[in-house]
Amino acid sequence: MVTLNHLSVEDQDNGSSLLPEAAEAATPTPVSHRQRLVTRTDSREFFLSRSENLAFSLVLLIGCYSAILIPAYFPLDRVATLSNDYQHPKDLVLLNRSASLLSDPCQPRWCLNHLKPLSCSAGLQDIPVFVQQDRPVSWDLAPPLGLQGSEEHLALALASLPEPGLPPSLRREGSCRRCMVVGSGGVLHGSHLGAHIDQYDIIIRLNNAPVPGFEKDAGSRTTIRLIYPEGAPHSANEYKKTTMVALVVFKSLDLDWLTSVITKQPLSFWSKMWFWRKVVDDIPLRPENFRILHPEIIHKTGQVLKKYALKQGNVVHDVSAEKLFLRDLVASGAVTDLTGAL
Tell whether 74 is covered by a domain: no
Same-domain status, 152 and 288: yes
Residue 280, domain member (yes or no)? yes
Domain closes at, from 293, 314, 330 = 293
* 214-268 confidence digits (pLDDT tens): 999 999 999 999 999 999 999 999 999 999 999 999 999 999 999 999 999 999 9
Residue 258: which of 233, 280, 225, 237 has the closest Cα? 280
Shared domain check, 288 and 307: no
Residue 174 belongs to domain with CATH number: 3.90.1480.20
Residue 323 shares a structural domain with residue 289: no
- 258-271 pLDDT tens trace: 999 999 999 999 99
Helix and strand numbers, DSSP H then E, in the chain: 12, 5
Pair 282, 310 in one domain: no
Looking at the predicted structure, is the pLDDT value of residue 76 above 70? no
Reduce the DSSP state of residue 293 to 3 states and report it: strand
Cα 221–Cα 227–Cα 230 angle in degrees, nearest 5: 130
Domain match, 339 and 299 both: yes
307 in the same domain as 259: no
Question: Do 193 and 302 belong to one domain?
Answer: no
Supply the range of the domain harboring residue 325.
Answer: 105-127+294-342
Convert the pLDDT of each residue in 99-116 to its tens digit: 888 898 888 888 888 888
pLDDT digits (tens, 9 = 90+) for 117-174: 787 777 777 889 999 987 778 899 999 999 999 999 999 999 999 988 888 878 766 6
Q: Could you tell me the CA-to-CA distances from 77 to 15, 80, 238 in Å, in that order?
A: 64, 5, 22
Give the bridge partners for 247, in sequence order. Answer: 227, 292
Q: Is 211 in the same domain as 285?
A: yes
Lowest mean pLDDT among 49-53, 168-172, 190-194: 49-53
The pTM is what?
0.72
Number of domains in the chain: 2
- 258 and 302 inside one domain: no
Query: Average model confidence (pLDDT) for the chain?
Result: 79
